[in-house]
Each structure stands twice: as C-alpha cells, then as structure tokens.
Amino acid sequence: MPFQHPRETGYGYVIERYAARKESGHARYLVLKSGRFLRPEWPHAERFAHHLIDDSATITDAELEALLGYEWRSRLTAAWLIGVGGRATFRERIGDLLLASEVCFSGSAYCFALARFGTHADAEILTAYLDHYLPRTDLRYDQPAALGALLRLDARLDARLGTHHATRFTEPDGLWDQWVQALAHLQDSPDFTPAERRRWTDLQCDFANGWAPPESA
C-alpha cells in the first residue's frame, strides 16, 4: 500500500498536532522512540503522560488512519495513541503493518499496542510475526519488541487459557537463541535476553496503565 501524506485526505494537520507536537522541547515521536519517558529521572513524565492520554481519548479513527497511512514518525505516534487508548478495533490494521514491516522504528509501537489489547488474537499476531522474522537471522527488525509483548501476553493469558505461545521460541537453542547468536553485536548482551525484553514491555504497559484505562481483561 503506497504511503499517503495526510494532507491528501484532508488531514494534513495531524502530523503537527499529534506526531510533531512539542513535549519539553522535543517532538512527541522522538520522545516515544527514545523511551526517555520511562526513565524515573525524567522530570516531564507526568505532563507527557497527561497529554498522551488526552490525545488518545480524543483523536478520531479517521485521524489515526491518516497517521497510519504515512511514514514511521506518524505511524509510531498513532500506534502509541491506539495502545494507550485501547483502540482494539485497530488490531487487524496494526497486525498488517507489523507483518509488512515497511518502515523503521514503528514496529515496536505496534507490539506495544498489541500487548495493551491483551487477548489471544494479539498473541497470534505476534506469534505469526516471530514465525516469519526470527528465521531471518540476517535481519534485525522488531523481533525483540515482539517477543517481549508475547511474553507479557502469555503471562496474562496463562491463568485463563493455559497458553504458552512464546515457549517454542525461547527454549534453549530455539529460534530466539539462533537469531541472537547469528547477529554478532547482540551476542552476550543482557539487553536481548527474553527476561529483559519482557521487562521492557512491562515498563511500557505499566506506564500506560498508570494514566490510561486498564488493559483489556
């Protein structure tokens, strides 16, 4: 699907209003990409969170579609607004964008949104992504974010459904180990253990849960 600038559909204002909005001197998409809002020492986290939750509640579906149809900055922002707002009606759209992996940086935000939705359907999307991209040991896309989101979903769903989607990826010498070992710069890095990927997803979701409506039951 070709990229389309929001102005072509009458929504040219959404980039400035939602993605490039200044947050403590930085564009919102840069704050989201960097993850600085998750650091306890960042002094602007509360204000940033309030702005994000307000926009997640008021942005329209049409405005979100306009953002999702453009480049990585707008897609990353849209996915965060969708996840924070629990807009599960965008599940299929988010899943399609994640699996397509057309642009950089936005995939981790898709994974966050799926983790926030919190259902078996979201786990299946993440599983399909990992089935497709973990065997590609020449690529570093959003495999870490997808695994972290899937591990969080497994923990939430296990008590009710007995699901263990991530187990076959994380078993010794499984697809996750093979992928990490094939990328020399990731080997022996504590940032790429399954536990660390789960911890990072937990940080994102716990941040959202602190200000937004709770994740789906």
97 part of a folded domain? yes
Task: Name the domain count of the chain.
Answer: 1
44 part of a folded domain? yes
Q: Tell me which residue range forms the domain holding 148.
A: 6-209
Helices and strands in the chain, H and E counts: 12, 2
DSSP summary character for residue 8:
G
107 part of a folded domain? yes
216 part of a folded domain? no
- What pLDDT shows up at residue 175? 96
182 part of a folded domain? yes
| CA 212-102-15 angle, 5° bins | 50
The amino acid that residue 59 corresponds to is I
55 part of a folded domain? yes
- What pLDDT shows up at residue 160? 61
- What pLDDT shows up at residue 185? 77
- What pLDDT shows up at residue 159? 59
Residues of the chain with pLDDT under 50: 214, 216-217
Calpha distance 125→79 (Å, rounded): 15
- What pLDDT shows up at residue 164? 81
- What pLDDT shows up at residue 216? 47
What is the pTM assigned to this prediction? 0.92
- What pLDDT shows up at residue 139? 86
- What pLDDT shows up at residue 217? 36
- The tokens for 210 are 């602190």
Phi and psi of 206, rounded to 5°?
Answer: -65, -35
215 part of a folded domain? no
pLDDT in tens, 158-200: 756 566 889 999 999 999 999 999 987 777 788 899 999 999 9
214 part of a folded domain? no
